[in-house]
């Protein structure tokens, strides 16, 4: 009977997705959900929606919940990390201060100034969670959904003996989008993708042995198609492969499209396609709306329909519990998997899953131009992990110096001034060694 601990379950909509997926999964008819969040009110929402979902499913699961993880996480088989540390208090700082220096972010929660400071707030709490897990649930498989994905996974892998895999939905969603763009059924498409999270690349895209990239390039000439993903299409046309993260967020990973107002105006579009400040301007509202959605489900205003979604967590559990092999894309340690990216970094590759757990597969070498774009971020990841694990402030400053978008806009002196200003306003939420 598996026990699934969800840390940060107060993000009730996401916890509800994971719980619903599990309750719809063959072979997972009985078990325990252990829900944890430091926000008692949001934890209560998660607890109630879990109980209701179990009742609707008719399955034999039960729920434990606590604001103190050590009360409920013992002997967990799976630990799902979904924490958000002081995001509401700092989402505006993460955008506004860099913008003052000309660093224009759309999302800003996995890389760039916003992502690095989110990491500095989040990773100390993450390390505490891992230490408790090692003590109370030493056999748990840790599945991380918290951003910054690569930074969280790398720091955890370096600090802990637990098996850790980072899970995202960008590859499976992008595969669906590509099938739509070229009007080819997804189940007829063969692809190979690899890289780092949000900067993985579809290096092969074929049907029946036929290369589909000429068709995709042709489709990109159609404004109705191009306008759905302008920045990703531009990179494909000039760099030779389609990337796995949407245009807006992806535009922050590279130095080409957000460094001048005229470029933002030319290539960025509204919403997730690159709108300036989109996350900072909307995330607090989305958070409230997510809680309201759970309340409507609880009240019966919205009918609860259990349906398994695309997130990998339930598929991993099913593969392990029933020994039914499956393949997922996971963020794992690079032990020779991608040969021209730094070893012991975190890379995103196809992984086999069965009762033996997560087994990453060898990919080989990425095309040089794509590996080079990833390599800069891997250096940033290394420096942030070093900063947190060694309590080394200067390493965190170096990380921001190397961020591609920040470096395209600011001088080293300006970057250091930005770092200092962000530290000053976020001091209550940062570890002491940062200030």
Taking alpha carbons only, the member of 21, 38, 120, 28 closest to residue 82 is: 38
Residue of 47, 169, 362, 381 with catalytic role: 169
Catalytic site includes residue 249: no
pLDDT digits (tens, 9 = 90+) for 229-254: 999 999 999 999 999 999 999 999 99
Q: How confident is the model at residue 11 (pLDDT cuts 50, 70, 90)?
A: confident
Q: What is the CA radius of gyration of the chain?
A: 21
Statement: residue 12 has pLDDT above 80: no
Distance (Å, whole) CA 340 – CA 364: 8
* Full set of structural domains in the chain with CATH: 3-86+113-167+301-308 (3.40.50.720), 87-112+168-276+311-435 (3.90.1820.10)
Q: What CA–CA distances, in Å, run from 375 to 73, 334, 365, 371?
A: 36, 12, 13, 6
pLDDT digits (tens, 9 = 90+) for 248-283: 999 999 999 999 999 999 999 999 999 999 999 999
Tens-digit pLDDT profile for residues 334-393? 999 999 999 999 999 999 999 999 999 999 999 999 999 999 999 999 999 999 999 999
Single pTM value for the model: 0.97
């Amino acid at each position: 009977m598996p026990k699934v601990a969800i840390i940060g379950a107060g993000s009730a909509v996401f916890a509800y997705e994971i719980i619903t997926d599990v309750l719809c999964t063959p072979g997972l008819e009985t078990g325990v959900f252990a829900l944890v969040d430091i926000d008692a009110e949001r934890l209560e929402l998660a607890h109630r929606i879990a109980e209701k979902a179990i009742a609707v499913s008719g399955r034999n699961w039960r729920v434990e919940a606590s604001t103190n993880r050590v009360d409920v996480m013992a002997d967990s088989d799976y630990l799902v990390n979904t924490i958000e540390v002081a995001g509401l208090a700092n989402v505006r700082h993460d955008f506004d201060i860099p913008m003052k220096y000309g660093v224009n972010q759309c999302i800003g929660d996995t890389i760039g100034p916003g992502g690095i400071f989110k990491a500095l707030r989040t990773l100390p709490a993450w390390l505490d969670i891992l230490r408790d897990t090692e003590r109370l649930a030493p056999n748990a498989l840790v599945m991380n959904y918290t951003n910054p994905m690569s930074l969280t996974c790398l720091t955890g892998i370096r600090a802990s003996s637990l098996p850790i895999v980072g899970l995202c939905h960008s590859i499976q969603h992008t595969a669906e989008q590509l099938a739509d763009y070229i009007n080819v059924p997804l189940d007829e498409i063969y692809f190979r993708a690899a890289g780092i999270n949000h900067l993985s690349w579809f290096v092969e895209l074929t049907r029946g042995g036929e290369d589909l990239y000429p068709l995709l390039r042709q489709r990109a000439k159609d404004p109705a198609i191009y306008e759905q993903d302008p920045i990703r299409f531009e990179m494909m046309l000039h760099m030779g492969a389609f990337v796995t993260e949407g245009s807006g967020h992806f535009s922050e990973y590279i130095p080409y499209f957000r460094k001048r107002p005229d470029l933002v105006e030319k290539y960025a579009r509204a919403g997730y396609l690159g709108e300036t400040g989109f996350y900072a301007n909307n995330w607090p509202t989305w958070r409230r709306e997510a809680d309201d959605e759970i309340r409507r489900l609880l009240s019966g205003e919205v009918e609860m329909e259990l349906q398994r979604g695309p997130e990998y967590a339930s598929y991993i559990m099913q593969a392990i519990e029933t020994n039914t092999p499956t393949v997922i894309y996971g963020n794992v340690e690079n032990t020779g998997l991608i040969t021209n990216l730094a070893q012991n970094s975190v890379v995103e590759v196809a992984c086999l899953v069965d009762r033996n757990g997560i087994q990453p597969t060898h990919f080989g070498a990425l095309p040089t131009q794509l590996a080079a774009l990833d390599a800069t971020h891997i250096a940033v990841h290394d420096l942030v992990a070093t900063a947190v694990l060694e309590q080394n402030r200067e390493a965190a400053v170096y990380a921001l110096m190397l961020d591609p978008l920040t470096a395209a806009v600011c001088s080293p002196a300006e970057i250091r001034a930005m770092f200092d200003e962000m530290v000053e306003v976020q001091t209550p939420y940062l570890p002491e060694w940062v200030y």
